[in-house]
Amino acid sequence: MLFILGDLIDRGEDSLAVVREVMKLKKLYGKQIVVLKGNHEDMLLTFLDNPTYETGNHFFMNGGNTTAMDFTSDEHLMFRSYQERAELMKERTDEIDFIRSFKDYYEFGDVLFVHGGIDPYIENWRNTQPHKFYWSRGWWNYSNRTGKTIVYGHTPTQTVYEDKSNEIWIDSKNKYINIDGGAVFGGQLNAIVIDKSGEILSLNTA
């Protein structure tokens, strides 16, 4: 199985092509491909469902302008109202519907995949408020009570390592694994091969 931890869009080059490539993978391999919702997909869908100044400003100030241009190919897009931009973007119905299908998290045996994180304060992590699955940070400073190894992204490892390393970060108990190498900020793409027990079989970078 291949798990993609979200943030397919924004800031980087050609968000539309990235989404379409993952759509092809999903079509070819079906349930073997699992795509999680990241905070950038959350910003996009929040904006499309309610294109106000607040949601539009949040989306476009965090890389949404590149995604919007890719999705519309409208050279005058940035001169249009947020409502007009949303309507033009929603014409990419297949891609938007695909993004809406992304999961909040996925359990793979004793491994939990999530984009942002979980609520460490509640007894049952599955009751985490949805936005925290995409936006949470700092929760790895608390004890892992899930009984699972948690693999996540969202927070570039440069902000975790004292030497600003882009490498995969693994806590001392092998219960938290951060694979976000900050590629869009000049870092690198990270991936791991992991089995259902949480044993890491290989670390990979590009």
Residue-level pLDDT at 48: 98
Half-sphere CA count of 186, side-chain side, radius 13 A: 2
| pLDDT exceeds 90 at position 10 | yes
Domain boundaries, the chain: 2-100, 115-205
Percent of the chain with pLDDT over 70: 100
In terms of residues, how long is the chain? 206
Query: In terms of Cα–Cα distance, which of 94, 141, 83, 93 is closest to 117?
Result: 141
Token pair 């106000």 is found at 52
Per-chain mean pLDDT for the chain:
96
Residue-level pLDDT at 159: 93
Query: At how many degrees (to 10) do helices 15-29 and 65-72 cross?
Result: 70
Task: Return the HEC string of 88-157.
Answer: HHCCCHHHHHHHHCCECEEEECCEEEECCCCCCCCCCHHHCCHHHHHHCCCHHHCCCCCCCEEEECCCCH
Give the tens place of pLDDT for each residue, 102-145.
999 999 999 999 999 999 999 999 999 999 999 999 999 999 99
Contact by Cβ (8 Å): 172, 146: no
Residue-level pLDDT at 99: 98
Q: State how beta strands 190-194 and 200-205 pair.
A: antiparallel
Percent of the chain with pLDDT over 90: 95
Would you state the structure tokens that stand for residue 150, as one six-digit string?
Answer: 């948690």
Q: pLDDT-based confidence at 55, cuts 50/70/90?
A: very high
Q: pLDDT-based confidence at 13, cuts 50/70/90?
A: confident
